[in-house]
Chain A
């Protein structure tokens, strides 16, 4: 049995399960590499010039890019392979988690409440944007439950995210959290948050760095709508000896009192909501902030990279992430202002990928968009 993990909740793998998962990782590197390499080349040499010509010089829209790429046979083949890779990812990891699920559930039960806390709400209604399709083409998505106290979706996600991120997110898979922390510290050097909320935390990969990044006396809360991810995330945090208060809540409207937090963050949450959802999340963030508090929502939005825009469009249409396309065109300052923040208190920036356990030159040169705003001091 191979574990290769930094915490005791991490699902194991038999020799052949590990071999299959290692293959899927290599397959993903290979297919995504070819998709991007040949795709960028096509965009530059053929697609962008042709569409601009037809457009009177204007930049191609996402839809025009999708329709133009669909005409190129070799790109259709790499698209087909990319979809297959995603399906094989879940069909490889899923059975391995299913085999050990009763044991994982027992382990999570044993760890429950040892540190931090977990509050579930069986009556919470799932937002429609999370039930219309299985997000990321993950069968059963993140909220399906297979047994009492189920952790399947969370355990599967921990292993698939490790394969999917191909090493860049670090052994604790926490680079998204560290990257946003670094951006917040640089942008708001005077901020000393005591209470922090992470919205849409899944299993808490990005949440855990916040427990130590701002000092020892910080209280960190994390919410998500998916119970199996929260149960697993709570057990994982306990196994890693970190105190986080997890609760099952919708970031569009929580039960926390007004002004409860000094810092409200999210990582890759916005694109999993909807046009209306993201506006509600920003308004709720503002409600939850104490005077002088900061909200910072990070996501994979790259309006200045035409191929990245096409890739987001591809994912929206072919990998069950319906809002990932149109979020590329959002004006985040306007969303902040619409949520009640003063225009002069809004900042839209970019957080470079960073984590303390890697040298910057060893990390890919990538960054996330950060939509941020500060509530005025009283």
Chain B
């Protein structure tokens, strides 16, 4: 038996693509809702990044004396140097948004800190 799809709509219109992969959706955090929240925050960060790029395009069009119409925005192709600047900005944003995940947790916790409090009290 074939696993492939054999019937399609008569009007030739495509079926909708699937959004979720078959298999297991793994969760890693102590509470899976934290995984879900990380996914939401990451998706929102992507949205902010897109708005930032679009604003940058509008500003660069203005520099060229062009209005930021949808057509002008679609026609705009960034030079490699512009793309490199955007890349740096995206990286820096990720570094700020997810900063807490990179914080070292070793070498000094609350026990040590309590000793410092006691020493200066």
Contact B2 A123 (CB under 8 A): yes
**Which partner residue on chain B sits nearest A76 by CB separation?**
B28
- A301 to B107 alpha-carbon distance, docked (Å): 35
- Kindly identify which residue among A26, A91, A95, A143 contacts B94, using a CB–CB cutoff of 8 Å: A26
Chain B 90-118 interface residues, beta-carbon cutoff 8 Å to A: 90-91, 94-95, 98, 101-102, 105
Size range of the chain B interface in the assembly: 35 or more
Do the beta carbons of B87 and A143 come within 8 Å of each other? no
**What is the chain A residue whose CB lies nearest that of B88?**
A26
In the assembled complex, the CB of A70 is this many whole angstroms from the nearest CB of chain B, namely 8
8 Å CB interface, A161-204 against B: none
For B1-21 the 0/1 string (1 means CB < 8 A from A) is: 111111011001111111111
B37 to chain A, nearest CB (A): 10
Q: Is B35 an interface residue (CB 8 A)?
A: yes
A83's contact among B9, B18, B28, B94, by CB below 8 Å, is which?
Answer: B28
Contacts of B12 in A (CB 8 A): 102, 147-148
- The interface residues of chain A lying within 8 Å CB-to-CB of B16 are 98, 146
Residue pair B23, A137 in contact (C-beta under 8 Å): yes
Given the interface contacts A26-B90, A147-B8, A148-B8, does A81 sit within 8 Å of B42 by beta carbon?
yes
**CB within 8 Å for A77 and B101 given contacts A125-B1, A139-B19, A147-B14:** yes
- Say yes or no for A24: interface residue by CB 8 A criterion: yes
In the complex, A85 has a CB within 8 A of chain B: yes
The interface bits of chain B over 63-98 (1 if a CB of A lies within 8 angstroms of the residue's CB, else 0) are 000000000011111000001001100110011001
Chain A residues, CB < 8 A from B73: 15
CB distance from A48 to the nearest CB of B (A): 16
Instruction: Please tell me if the beta carbons of A23 and B90 are within 8 angstroms of each other in the complex.
Output: yes
Contact with B18, one of A38, A144, A317 (Cβ below 8 angstroms):
A144
Which stretch of A126-134, A237-245, A255-263 is in the interface? A126-134
Query: Residue on B with the closest CB to A120?
Result: B4
A145 at the interface (CB under 8 A from B): yes
The closest CB in chain A to the CB of B49 belongs to A23
B23 with A146: CB separation less than 8 A: no
**DSSP class of A's interface residues: helix, strand, loop or mixed?**
helix
Q: Which residue in A14, A124, A133 is a CB contact (below 8 Å) of B23?
A: A133
Q: With A23-B46, A80-B35 known to touch, is A30 a contact of B94 (CB < 8 Å)?
A: yes
Contact A139 B94, CB 8 Å, known A83-B26, A134-B22: no
The interface residues of chain A lying within 8 Å CB-to-CB of B102 are 34, 38
**Residues of A close to B90: CB separation below 8 A:** 22-23, 26-27
- Asked whether A233 is an interface residue with its Cβ less than 8 Å from the other chain, the reply is no
Q: Which residues in B have their C-beta under 8 angstroms from that of A73?
A: 30, 105
Q: A15-B57, A133-B23 are in contact. Are A27 and B28 (CB under 8 A)?
A: no
A77-89 CB contact bits vs B (8 Å, 1 = yes)? 1111101110110
The complex places the Cα of A205 from the Cα of B77 at a distance, in Å, of 26
1/0 contact string of A17-33 vs chain B (CB within 8 Å): 00110111011011000
What's the least CB distance linking B81 to chain A, in Å? 15
Task: Give chain B residues whose Cβ lies under 8 Å from the Cβ of A30.
Answer: 91, 94-95, 98
Q: Does A10 contact B (CB under 8 A)?
A: no
Known: A22-B53, A147-B8. A2 touches B22 (CB 8 A): no
Q: Is the CB of A101 within 8 A of B14?
A: yes
B98 → A minimal CB distance (Å)? 7
Residues of B within 8 A of A101 (CB): 14
The complex places the Cα of A27 from the Cα of B98 at a distance, in Å, of: 11
Provided the pairs A15-B54, A15-B74, A147-B8 are in contact, do residues A77 and B38 lie with their beta carbons within 8 angstroms?
Answer: yes
- Pairs A-B, 6 closest by C-beta atoms: A133-B23, A19-B53, A147-B14, A134-B21, A126-B3, A139-B18
The 13 listed contacts between A and B (C-beta, < 8 Å) are A15-B57, A19-B53, A30-B94, A74-B105, A80-B29, A80-B34, A92-B46, A122-B4, A139-B21, A146-B15, A147-B15, A152-B14, A320-B23
Known: A80-B29, A140-B17. 8 other contacts (CB 8 A): A15-B57, A22-B86, A83-B35, A84-B39, A88-B42, A141-B22, A143-B4, A320-B23
